[in-house]
Amino acid sequence: MLKIGDQAPEFTLKDQNGKDVSLAQFKGRKVVVYFYPKDNTPGCTRQACAFAGAYGEFQKRNVAVIGISKDSVASHVKFAEKYNLPFHLLADPERTAIEAYGVWQEKKLYGKVSMGVVRTTFLIDEQGKIQKIMPKVKPDTNAAEILAEL
């Protein structure tokens, strides 16, 4: 499991525009990387909309926001357009980043156990080191908690 102070695992994934986005391209800036289970589900939509609503504040602080799920680029296109999401949504169907960040875990829902993405947010500093890890975040307050941390 990753810890505060660890070097954040590098990734290069396609965003909702089909462009490659890597963590390395944000060197020198803080980056919020939030992992979420699925596009267009109630909690994930509330979380994305909260980040979209606070996006101006993140921009003022020169902080990049990246959402990652195992959904496809096509799914991200629809999700981003439907909710006017101004930040990168990265498709990780192979779970490369999801597993590197340790967020692919056993989950229990209504007594049923399955594997899935545990909603987790990472704040990465200008040198690419993990500054904060927020496991099992609440979708509605996650963006505000990160802004308070900044």
Q: Could you say which architecture CATH assigns to the domain 12-149?
A: 3-Layer(aba) Sandwich (3.40)
Tokens 């799914």 sit on residue: 75
Reply yes or no on whether 49 is catalytic.
no
Digitized pLDDT (tens) for each residue of the chain, 150 residues in all: 799 999 999 999 999 999 999 999 999 999 999 999 999 999 999 999 999 999 999 999 999 999 999 999 999 999 999 999 999 999 999 999 999 999 999 988 788 888 999 999 999 999 999 999 999 899 999 999 999 999
pTM of the predicted model, to two decimals?
0.95
State the burial class of residue 79 (Cβ atoms within 10 Å of its Cβ: 0-12, 13-18, 19+): buried
Q: Where are the domains of the chain?
A: 12-149
Quick one: tokens of 102?
Answer: 């340790």
Active-site residue, selected from the candidate residues 44, 64, 91, 146: 44
